Amino acid sequence: MGSCCLYSPTNTNTVIPIRRLHSAKPVISGARARANHSKLVFVPIRAVLPAAQYSTTTMANSVRVAAAQMTSINDLASNFSTCSRLVKEAASAGAKLLCFPENFSYVGAKEGDSLKIAEPLEGPIMKGYCSLARESNIWLSLGGFQEKGSDDAHLCNTHVLIDDAGNIRSTYRKMHLFDVDVPGGMVYKESSFTEPGKEVVAVDSPFGRLGVTVCYDLRFPELYQQLRFHHEAQVLLIPAAFTKITGQAHWEILLRARAIETQCYVIAAAQTGKHTDKRESFGETLIIDPWGTIVGRLPDRISTGIAVADIDLSLIDSVKVSSPLPEPRTPLSI
């Protein structure tokens, strides 16, 4: 069992259950299996919004969603097992949508590994995740799948949205690729093996209109303005594998900024922990409301588990009325 965090309704002191991992590090055997121990604890979680403005807000139109946090490795079967367990936890918690982080199915141990396992969307890897969605009757947001590119030297970093019948509803290919060369530090050139996407994607769902993005896109606010004002997105999906250093400095700040400036919900599933000796992710899976309030998070930013929250689309309208945003004056080019 992983960690599970439930969101308490706005302006209440409701006490809610959280399952919490007590093992500081995953135990990995030769088969790369994890041995985790969980315990049920109770903590009060409260979302604080201006009561005078939002006293009429109810959860009558709410839907429960979840966001996963995990440490993917260079083992497709092990990662699928972790995802399968988290899908079952989310379904048991009543979630209708579960969002996974970037590279949920695989993180290579060395350069070129991701290209070797890249598959078309019709391949066995994605078929397995489609089956998970169908069997648990839950929508899945699979952000950052290694989709086979136009040639053997390239792949696409593809966010796949699967409905509760196991059908692929939408795909978005990451537009902004992560290229970094820190003097004396990390060197990573995603563009050397990844084809950038060219289309902005928003799709209707039972959870509102979803704006679909991936990780490094987060640093380009014009994309989210495009989704909000030209594609009428209500919920922004931002799966990621932020580095530990940049995550500590910017992750939460950027996510809350995107929520506030678009007046949308944000669901940000995150990779966490050490994937290899040379790669470590920050973690901190978050669900944020249109006022910029964090309404779902795990009790531990480095544990494997799910954050769960009830999102209410009527809150978006309330925020828009209380603090209207003008449409951008200049055309947006993405």
Q: What's the whole-number average pLDDT of the chain?
A: 84
Which residue(s) pair with 271 in the sheet?
Answer: 70
Residue type, 195: E
pLDDT tens string 301-326: 999 999 999 999 999 999 999 888 87
| Residue 327 known to be catalytic | no
Candidates 174, 252, 280, 284; catalytic one: 174
Asked if 164 contacts 138 with a C-beta cutoff of 8 angstroms, the reply is: yes
Q: What pLDDT score does 182 carry?
A: 60
pLDDT of residue 6 exceeding 70, the answer is no
Average pLDDT over residues 22-42: 34
As given in the structure block, the two tokens for residue 98 are 């579960």
Region class of 275: left (phi > 0), else alpha (psi between -120 and 50), else beta: alpha
Would you place residue 49 in the very low, low, confident or very high pLDDT band (cuts 50, 70, 90)?
Answer: very low
Cα 107 from Cα 125, distance rounded (Å): 14
Q: What pLDDT score does 181 carry?
A: 72
pLDDT of residue 240 exceeding 60, the answer is yes
Candidates 89, 102, 147, 195; catalytic one: 102
Average pLDDT over residues 27-48: 34
325 burial type by CB count under 10 A (0-12 exposed, 13-18 middle, 19+ buried): middle
Candidates 99, 156, 215, 264; catalytic one: 215
| Residue 264 known to be catalytic | no
> Beta strand 270-274 with 265-268: parallel, antiparallel or unpaired?
unpaired
| Residue 102 known to be catalytic | yes
pTM, rounded to two decimals: 0.81
Query: 58-72, 205-219, 220-234: which has the minimum mean pLDDT?
Result: 58-72
Cα 304 from Cα 83, distance rounded (Å): 10
Would you place residue 47 in the very low, low, confident or very high pLDDT band (cuts 50, 70, 90)?
Answer: very low
